[in-house]
């Protein structure tokens, strides 16, 4: 072990614990991973207001209002992801062919763990919900929490004198830039960035955020953590993936993470778990309904000029810079609820309706085909266009008398081909050579028929909600149902 994590049982000798505590190491008792020990620099980051802010941002947003156990926050998820990143780096470095010094291994492990620890710093209130809220104010704005995490890291380093702490462990400006690229899963193509890691270290981009395969420690932690708090059984075993992962060069002459061929079924199970979580919890109809109502409430509050924390910071602009985002958490929900400001009456009423379970009425659902040959972004644009068109048709029939909202249920998992198509595999007899596509097909035949059916998301479901309370006018929705059923 390199000193950044406890042993597999979560315990260390008392002598070692005392020595590590004196050096600034800290033990966290995590609900998923047990006792984990963090490096002193990681502890310094944890003890900043920017990181502590994550205690007040729910991991699953408004799923908590449907699943009472889903009260966990981005704080503990970030700790867990940091721990898993350390575990994976340690396993990979111990099995690679190239020789590294002990100091180099410690340095690599540290900056990968820092990336994992800071990867969610930029989340807004109720996690991914805030990305929806920001689009309500400005449809052309593509605000993403990953970019905001980079800005928050810069803000934290600038204002909390952490730069000097980083330098104590030989983490200079270059390493900080590497940390940012690791958070993003690689260099920012939109900014024409070049990779800061050479071909020998390219595999490090695949640990925290793997855009190529989706197999990364961020997902491993939230699968386990969300499953625990949602009371859903998660069957996939990341421990086996850690035991059977290694670094190898592939045809692009770059290093990548590869897994033993026999772990293909375990990876299929990982993708199935992701689909199950979406269908069972993340995209639960009532969760979508409550999220829609609260998005409307936040938009109404922002449009009414609501300013957070009695400051001059407008809610609708608070996400645009790190200084104001650092003051923005889930507390805005209750701040609006308990406000006596008459300008917030509309927003307050919507939140009160949520708490009284007086939700929007689900009118009808309709499945629409999605072009499988297009990219993920094109698919989502196609769905957004159809949502807008359906709302226009309903508005033409009802005007402003009855208002509707449309939410889509589409996993957008790019299911036109096999989910493991980009994952690298190796055989026991050839641990340094990746298996070519023909060999992967042979492994898949051994798994056929699979013990489960992978979700194929060729259709998107549109859920139409009536925002106007019309209990006494139920018949007035029959025309809306007919429009929705006939929508193409």
- Residue 331 appears among annotated catalytic residues: no
Domain co-membership, 162 together with 44: yes
| Claim to verify: residue 265 and residue 341 sit in the same structural domain | no
- Burial bucket for residue 476 (CB in 10 Å: 0-12, 13-18, 19+): middle
The total number of structural domains that make up the chain: 3
* 409 shares a domain with 425: no
Decide if 477 is inside a domain. yes
Domain assignment present for 299 = yes
Q: Per residue of the chain (488 residues), what is the pLDDT tens digit? A: 444 445 544 445 556 666 677 678 999 999 999 999 999 999 999 999 999 999 999 999 999 999 999 999 999 999 999 999 999 999 999 998 888 999 999 999 999 999 999 999 999 999 999 999 999 898 777 889 999 999 999 999 987 679 999 999 999 999 999 999 999 999 987 778 899 999 999 999 999 999 888 899 999 999 999 999 999 988 888 999 999 999 998 888 899 999 998 898 888 889 889 888 998 999 999 999 999 999 999 999 999 999 999 899 999 999 999 999 999 999 999 999 999 999 999 999 999 999 999 999 999 999 998 887 777 788 888 999 999 999 999 999 999 889 999 999 887 655 445 677 788 998 887 767 776 655 666 666 665 545 444 555 678 899 999 999 877 667 889 999 999 999 98
Residue 3 lies in a domain: no
Tell whether 153 and 246 lie within a shared domain.
yes
For residue 183, give the CATH number of its domain.
Answer: 1.10.3210.10
Write a three-state SS string for the chain.
CCCCCCCCCCCCCHHHHHHHHHHCCEEEEECCCEEEEECHHHHHHHCCHHHHHHHHCECCHHHHHCCCCCCCEHHHHHHHHHHHHHHHHHHHHHHCCCCCCHHHHHHHHHHHHHHHHHCCCCCCCCCCHHHHHHHHHCCCCCCCHHHHHHHHHHHHHHHCCHHHHHHHCCCCHHHHHHHHHHHHCCCCHHHCCCCCCCHHHHHHHHHHCCCCCCCCHHHHHHHHHHHHHHCCCCCCCHHHHHHCEEEEECCCCCEEEEEEHHHHHHHHHHHHHHHHHHHHHHCCHHHHHHHHHHHHHHHHHHHCCCEHHHCCCEHHHHHHCHHHHCCCCCHHHHHHHCCCCHHHHHHHHHHHHHHCCCCCEEEEEEEEECCCCCCHHHHHHHHHHHHHHHHHHHHHHHCCCCCEEEEEECCCCCCCCCCCCCCEEEECCEEEEECCHHHHHHHHHHHCCCCCCCCCCCEEEEEEEECCCCHHHHHHHHHHHHHHHCCC
Same domain, 51 and 174: yes
Residue of 39, 72, 145, 278 marked active site: 145
404-409 and 424-427 beta bridge pairing: unpaired
Do 332 and 237 fall into the same domain?
A: no
pTM for the model: 0.90
Q: Are residues 87 and 116 both part of a single domain?
A: yes
Q: Is 12 domain-assigned?
A: no
Q: What is the end-to-end Cα distance of the chain in Å, rounded?
A: 58
Q: Is residue 204 part of a domain?
A: yes
Let me know whether 368 and 355 are in one domain. no
Say if residue 354 is in the same domain as residue 394. Answer: no
Q: How many CA atoms lie within 13 A of 50 on its CB side?
A: 27
Domain extent, residue 318, equals: 284-359
Looking at the fold, whether 267 and 215 belong to one and the same domain comes out as: yes
- Among 338, 359, 380, the domain boundary falls at 359
Do 400 and 301 fall within a single domain?
Answer: no
Contact in structure between 126 and 54 (CB atoms under 8 Å): no
Please say which residue of 315, 339, 359 terminates a domain: 359
Is residue 380 one of the residues assigned to a domain?
A: yes
Distance from C-alpha of 23 to C-alpha of 51, rounded to nearest angstrom: 22
Domain presence at residue 151? yes
Residue 107 lies in a domain: yes
Judge if 249 and 332 occupy the same domain: no
- Closest Cα partner for 180 from 252, 254, 122? 122
């Amino acid at each position: 072990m390199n000193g950044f994590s406890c042993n597999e049982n979560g315990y260390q000798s008392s002598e070692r614990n005392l020595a590590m505590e004196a050096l600034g190491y800290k033990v966290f008792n995590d609900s998923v991973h047990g006792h984990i020990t963090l490096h002193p620099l990681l502890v310094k980051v944890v003890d900043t207001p920017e990181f502590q802010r994550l205690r007040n941002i729910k991991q699953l947003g408004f799923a908590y209002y449907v699943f009472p156990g889903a009260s966990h926050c981005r704080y503990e998820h970030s700790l867990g992801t940091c721990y898993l990143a350390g575990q994976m780096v340690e396993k990979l470095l111990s099995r690679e062919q190239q020789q590294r010094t002990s100091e180099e291994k410690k340095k690599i492990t540290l900056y990968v763990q820092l990336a994992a620890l800071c990867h969610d710093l930029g989340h807004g209130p109720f996690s991914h919900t805030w990305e929806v809220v920001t689009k309500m104010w400005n449809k052309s704005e593509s605000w993403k929490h990953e970019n905001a995490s980079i800005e928050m890291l810069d803000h934290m380093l600038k204002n909390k004198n952490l730069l000097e702490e980083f330098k104590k462990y030989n983490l200079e400006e270059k390493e900080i830039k590497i940390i940012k690229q690791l958070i993003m899963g690689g260099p920012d193509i939109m900014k024409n960035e070049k990779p800061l890691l050479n071909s020998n270290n390219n595999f490090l981009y695949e640990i925290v955020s793997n855009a190529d395969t989706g197999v990364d420690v961020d997902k491993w932690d939230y699968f386990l953590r969300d499953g625990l708090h949602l009371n859903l059984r998660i069957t996939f075993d990341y421990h086996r993936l850690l035991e059977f992962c290694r670094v190898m060069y592939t045809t692009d002459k770059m290093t990548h993470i590869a897994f033993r061929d026999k772990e293909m079924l375990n990876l299929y199970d990982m993708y199935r778990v992701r689909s199950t979580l979406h269908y069972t919890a993340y995209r639960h109809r009532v969760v979508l309904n409550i999220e829609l109502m609260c998005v409307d409430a936040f938009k109404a509050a922002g449009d009414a000029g609501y300013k957070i924390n009695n400051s001059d910071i407008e809610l609708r602009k608070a996400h645009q810079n790190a200084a104001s985002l650092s003051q923005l958490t889930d507390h805005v929900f209750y701040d609006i609820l308990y406000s006596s400001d008459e300008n917030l009456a509309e927003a307050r009423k919507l939140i009160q309706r949520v708490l009284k379970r007086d939700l929007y009425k689900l009118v009808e659902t309709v499945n629409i085909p999605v072009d499988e040959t297009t990219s993920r972004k094109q698919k989502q644009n196609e769905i957004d266009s159809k949502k807008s068109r359906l709302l226009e048709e309903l508005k033409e029939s009802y005007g402003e008398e009855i208002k509707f909202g449309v939410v889509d249920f589409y996993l957008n998992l790019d299911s036109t081909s096999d989910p493991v198509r980009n994952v690298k595999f190796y055989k026991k007899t050839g641990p340094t050579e990746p298996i070519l596509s023909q060999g992967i097909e042979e492994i898949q035949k051994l798994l056929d028929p699979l013990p489960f059916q992978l979700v194929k998301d060729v259709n998107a479901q549109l859920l139409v909600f009536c925002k106007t309370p019309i209990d006494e006018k139920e018949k007035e929705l029959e025309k809306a149902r007919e429009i929705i059923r006939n929508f193409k």
